[in-house]
Chain A
Amino acid sequence: MLAAVTLSLLRGLMTTLELFFLTLLFALPLGLLISFGSMSRLTPLRGVTKGIVWVIRGTPLMLQILVIFYGPGLLFGLPLLPRFTAALVSFVINYACYFSEIFRGGIQSVPAGQYEAGQVLGMTRPQIFFRITLLQVIKRIVPPMSNEFITLVKDTALVRIISVYEIIWMGESYIKKGMIWPLFYTAVFYLAVNGLLTLLFGRFEKKLSYFR
């Protein structure tokens, strides 16, 4: 029984992990773009970006999932996105907004003197960003990022609202067969994934501890 349950939970975990990795893949670069937008010197661009970030951070992710999946059909009678795709789109948008604020904080916390020192030495803007600022930004954002990554793993549980069969859904389905423990057994999988993440982030932080 344990083996069968484990197997079915692992199937759910695959969906969970797929959502996790694909969200990171798209949300990290998108978040960087949004952070540039929110720091832009163009007032309209900055305003629009900040507005979007405000809406996304100010409303529940669960609502965003519902809007992105059902919205096109309810409002415009359009065909729906596949369930997983809709879940992914909502996660990418939501997490990109959170990431963008972390990036913005990280970039703005690098002293202006670092930038000026690069300029005075005749370095170009991209050279300054990639050779000087970036690593300092990364070092500063590792702790808040590890928080976001771990939250993301757990937030994937929300997508069962639109019937994406992730690990909690698989665990819950056993309740109808009179088995309660599989639902709580899912915690083991979450702990394993987040344990691994914590470990990796710890290593990474240590690797970057050679400078201050």
Chain B
Amino acid sequence: MKRKLLILALMLGLTLSLCACAAKDKAPQDGDTAYIQEKGTLVVGITDFAPMDYQNENGEWIGFDADMAKAFAESLGVKVEFIEINWDNKIMELETKAIDCVWNGMTLTEEVTTAMATSEPYCLNGQVVVISSDKAADYQDTDSLKTLRFAAENGSAGAGELESLGLEYVAKPTQADALLEVASGASDACVIDLLMAGAMIGEGTSYPDLTYTVQLNSEEYGVGFRKGSNLAEAFNTFWKKAYDEGTVLKTATAYGVQESIIEK
């Protein structure tokens, strides 16, 4: 009896893995643009990340990335749909076609470029150290950071910078959570995107007592598509045209990120 069950289980496992391989092989990635146009919707995976993607009072998604995503969808002749995703699952979301692209101020790290088909970079960014204003004067260079307790978004570019400096940190689900760590005093400092820091801290924001000091690196933002997708090409063509027409800069100015746009 037991042996029979074991054999049955093994056969089941084998069948499943065979199916899995077969399915992987025939994945029609080169037709991704056609796939999007056929279903009529571009599903954009985002997180709530001002000024790139955030909701206005009516619950509509706006921001530099959101507005450009709408324009891109229009150029493909399809509708756009925004889905807030769990950032840790972005690659699974793409691979399983739960979403069609990640367009959310995404830093083109090595992890991202190996796991996704990425666009040419469109925006410059850096990782900065955020700290309370009264302590800021003492921490103006990388050497001074060693005594601080850090927080950073799990798996983010900021976390990567901290790791390469050999500094320990508390991993949080989002950059906003990392900011919250600092505001509540649970951590001394956090590392987040320059763009986000510009929009979220300092006078007139929710965190008036925080400021940013050291910029640890400089990096580029891009849009991620499924591995092997031809949508990245379509995006590059669209972006060049939109840049030439002035749409890109106009939209960037509306959200205060015009300084960071990469010239085409």
A and B touch in the complex (CB under 8 A): yes
**Is B206's CB under 8 angstroms from A178's CB?**
yes
Answer yes or no: A114 CB below 8 A from chain B CBs: no
Contact partners of B176 in chain A: CB under 8 A: 175-176
Closest chain A CB from B187 CB (angstroms): 15
Whether the Cβ atoms of B97 and A79 lie closer than 8 Å is yes
User: In the complex, which range does the number of interface residues on chain B fall in?
Assistant: 20 to 34
Q: Tell me whether A163 and B83 are in contact (CB under 8 A).
A: yes
* B7 beta carbon closer than 8 Å to chain A: no
Question: DSSP majority for the A interface?
Answer: helix
Chain A, interface residues (CB within 8 Å), range: 20 to 34
Nearest B-chain residue to A165, judged by Cβ? B84
A170 to B25 CA separation, bound complex (whole angstroms): 39
Among A31-39, A68-76, A199-207, the one that faces the other chain is: A68-76
Question: Cβ of A147 < 8 Å from any Cβ of B?
Answer: no
B105 CB to closest chain A CB (Å) equals: 13
Bound-state CA distance A77–B94 (Å) is 12
Complex partner residue of A178 from B24, B84, B95, B205, CB under 8 angstroms: B205
- A52 close to chain B: CB less than 8 A: no
- A77 and B86 within 8 A (CB): no
Q: Mark A178-200, 1 if CB is under 8 A from B, else 0.
A: 11100000000000000000000
Residues of A within 8 A of B26 (CB): 77
Q: With A43-B1, A163-B86 as given contacts, are A175 and B180 in contact (CB-CB < 8 Å)? A: yes
Nearest neighbor of A76 in chain B, beta-carbon distance:
B23
How far, in angstroms, from A47 to B2 measured CA to CA in the complex?
10
Cα A69 to Cα B86 in complex, Å, equals: 13
Is B19 interfacial (CB-CB < 8 Å)?
yes
Q: Are the CB atoms of B96 and A74 closer together than 8 Å?
A: yes
A76, A80, A173: the one within 8 Å of B98 (CB): A80
Q: B180's contact among A72, A74, A76, A180, by CB below 8 Å, is which?
A: A180
**Contact, CB under 8 Å: A176 / B50:** yes
A162 touching B97, Cβ below 8 Å: no
Report the bound CA distance from A77 to B50 in whole Å: 34
Answer whether residue B20 sits at the interface, using C-beta atoms and an 8 A cutoff. yes
CB-nearest residue of chain A to B27: A77
Does B16 make an interface contact (CB < 8 A)? yes
Determine the residue in chain A with the shortest Cβ distance to B92. A70
Complex Cα gap A165–B85 (Å): 10
Chain A CB within 8 A of B207 CB: yes
Binding site for B on A (CB under 8 A): 43-44, 47, 66, 69-70, 72-80, 83, 160-163, 165, 169, 173, 175-180
Apart from the given pairs A69-B98, A176-B49, A176-B54, 13 other A-B contacts in the complex at a CB distance below 8 Å? A73-B96, A74-B95, A77-B23, A162-B86, A163-B86, A173-B48, A173-B84, A175-B174, A175-B176, A176-B50, A178-B205, A178-B206, A180-B180
